Amino acid sequence: MLELKNQVVLVTENGEPTGLAEKMEAHREGWLHLAFSIMVFRNTPSGREYLLQRRAMDKYHSGGLWTNTCCSHPMQNESFQTAAVRRMMEELGVAEELSYRMGDRFCYRAELDNNLVEHELDQILIGESAELDVRLIPEEIMDYGWWPESRIEQLLANAPETFTAWFPEVFLRVKRQLTREMLEQVS
């Protein structure tokens, strides 16, 4: 029997579970499955910054590319909050339990390297932290850093290949939600 963390939850575009599949098989076949993307941000005197990670070169796909703070797949019957805490520790060595608010959920399909396909119903989780104690987990990430919003926008416009396939959509949706929340606080 497969270990739970090597399985993904197959879903419909509405998020209804349809079964389980071995993670690599789901990515080879391009089956729609549940995923989440965490984006941690902080507000600084010079503007908003996002904590990004650079995927390890030997990840099963998208090695060496920059992406949002953390991304993964929830296990069967695991809440997004629980999955977020688990994966922040497994990917970034972050022991602090951040409080995440739910962002958008979107469906995408992308042909990737190694003949794999990401076909995910991706739930965005947004966290805020002025500083995190990150420990490099070499099999997961090769680098990380706080990126100013303007630098991300510049690279998305001029060198989108710097980032993973899902990152532009995650970034734009998070930026839009944070801007909307800021405007609501002002009014």
The pLDDT, as a whole number, for residue 6 is 86
97/112 Cα distance (integer angstroms): 32
Highest CATH level, class, for 4-186: alpha beta
The pLDDT, as a whole number, for residue 2 is 46
27 is known to lie in a ligand binding site: yes
The pLDDT, as a whole number, for residue 1 is 40
Name which of 71, 74, 49 is nearest 60 in CA terms.
Answer: 71
Overall pTM > 0.85 = yes
The catalytic site residues sit at 71, 120
73 is known to lie in a ligand binding site: yes
The pLDDT, as a whole number, for residue 74 is 96
184 is known to lie in a ligand binding site: no
30/118 Cα distance (integer angstroms): 6
Phi-psi group of 135: left, alpha or beta (phi > 0 → left; psi -120 to 50 → alpha; rest → beta): beta
The pLDDT, as a whole number, for residue 60 is 86
DSSP assignments along the chain, one per residue: ---GGGEEEEE-TT--EEEEEEHHHHHHHT--EEEEEEEEEEEETTEEEEEEEEE-TTSSSSTT-EE-SEEE-PPTT--HHHHHHHHHHHHH---S----EEEEEEEEEEE-GGG-EEEEEEEEEEEE-S-------TTTEEEEEEEEHHHHHHHHHH-GGGB-SSHHHHHHHHHHHHHHHHHHHH-
The pLDDT, as a whole number, for residue 3 is 57
The pLDDT, as a whole number, for residue 113 is 82
The pLDDT, as a whole number, for residue 4 is 61
Q: Which residues of the chain have pLDDT under 70?
A: 1-5, 187
Answer whether 123's CB lies under 8 Å from 72's CB: no
91 is known to lie in a ligand binding site: yes
